[in-house]
Amino acid sequence: MTRSLVIDDAPAIRALLRATLTGAGHEVFEAVGGAAALGLLEHQPAEVAICDMLMPGPDGLGTIRLLRQAFPALRIVAMSGGGELDDLLGGALRLGAAAALDKPFTLQRVLAAVGEALAGGQEAG
């Protein structure tokens, strides 16, 4: 069973991703931001994290930097609202995210992005 962490400050997005990933057989944990994610991962290791780019505290790019330093084996999927935010997804990929996910997304695209990350791929979209 894959252990997945969803990092997003929006409860509705966390709930949607939890339901999608749980339905695909993942064990899912949630964090409302980067600091909470780091604390949670200290006690609940995960194979993959889906990280929103726009959130308070350390933003997505800051969170990815911290995650890469503290948990280098963690696979990361960066997530943003697209449009002018595409630069954030590109930055996330340059920092080591394995996949990128544009909002709005389909549930199939979520699962594909997580699969890409777990397989070690690096594809935006």
Domain regions of the chain by residue span = 3-118
Q: Span 83-112, mean pLDDT?
A: 87
pLDDT at 86: 61
What is 3-118's CATH number, 3.40.50.2000, 3.40.50.2300, 2.40.50.140, 3.40.50.720? 3.40.50.2300
The residue-averaged pLDDT of 9-34 equals 97
Could you give the percent of the chain with pLDDT greater than 70? Answer: 92
Write out pLDDT tens, residues 34-82.
999 999 999 999 999 999 999 888 999 999 999 999 999 999 999 998 5
Q: Give all strands of the β-sheet with 99-102 in edge-to-edge order.
A: 27-31, 3-7, 48-52, 75-80, 99-102
pTM, two decimal places: 0.92
What pLDDT was estimated at residue 124? 38
- For residue 7, the SS3 value is strand
